[in-house]
Amino acid sequence: MSHVSSKGLYYTIFISLIILTGVTVAIARVDLGAWNTPIALAVAAVKATLVILFFMGVRNNTPLTKVVAASGFLWLIILFGITMGDYLTRSWLGIPGR
């Protein structure tokens, strides 16, 4: 769109992404037990959000573009959410395999 962000903002986002990549590498070397995957995914999600909002220009775009970008994530939540709904309830019956 017509909005142009300053170079400084792009550099800030770029440096933030580099730092977050460093965080990803650093936490991979620490055993956080059950939190290993959630924390790695959280860092990745923050990085993806920065790229989408700033580098892809969604932040200053039309409402329709925002809806389109958000719907991608909504669908991801549906995919992960319902799939986990299966995995997390498998043991409820107490019958192996059911």
Partner 1 sequence: MNHAVNEPRSYLDAPYGVASWLLTKDHKRIALLYLISITVFFLIGALFAAGIRAELMTPEGDLFTADMYNKLFTLHGVVMVFFFLIPSIPATLGNFLVPIMCGAKDLAFPKINLLSWYLYLIGATLTLGAVFMGGVDTGWTFYTPYSSMASNTNVTLAAVGVFIAGFSSILTGFNFVVTIHRMRAPGLTWFRMPLFLWAMYATSLVMILGTPVVAITLLMVGAEAALGFGIFDPRVGGDPVLFQHLFWFYSHPAVYIMILPGMGVISELVAAVSRKQIFGYSFVAYSSLAIAIIGFLVWGHHMFVSSQSIYAGLVFSIITMIVAVPSAVKTFNWTATLYRGSITWESPTYWVIGFIGLFLVGGLTGLFLGAMGLDVHLHDTYFVVAHFHYIMVGGGVMAFLGGVHFWWPKMTGRTYPETLGKISAVLVFVGFNLTFLPQFVVGYLGMPRRYHAYPEEFQILNVVSTGGASVLGIGYLLIIGYLVASMFKPRNATANPWGATGLEWDIPSPPTTFNFEIDPVVTEDAYNYAGRAQKTGDN
3-state helix, strand, coil in the chain (%, to 5): 75, 0, 25
Residue 41 burial (C-beta neighbours within 10 Å; 0-12, 13-18, 19+): exposed
Site string for partner 1, 50-89 (x = CB under 8 A): --------------x------xx--x--xx--xx-xxxxx
Site string for partner 1, 14-53 (x = CB under 8 A): ----------------------------------------
How far is C-alpha 11 from the chain's CA centre? 21
Which is nearer to partner 1, 9 or 68 (by Cβ)? 68
Which is nearer to partner 1, 18 or 70 (by Cβ)? 70
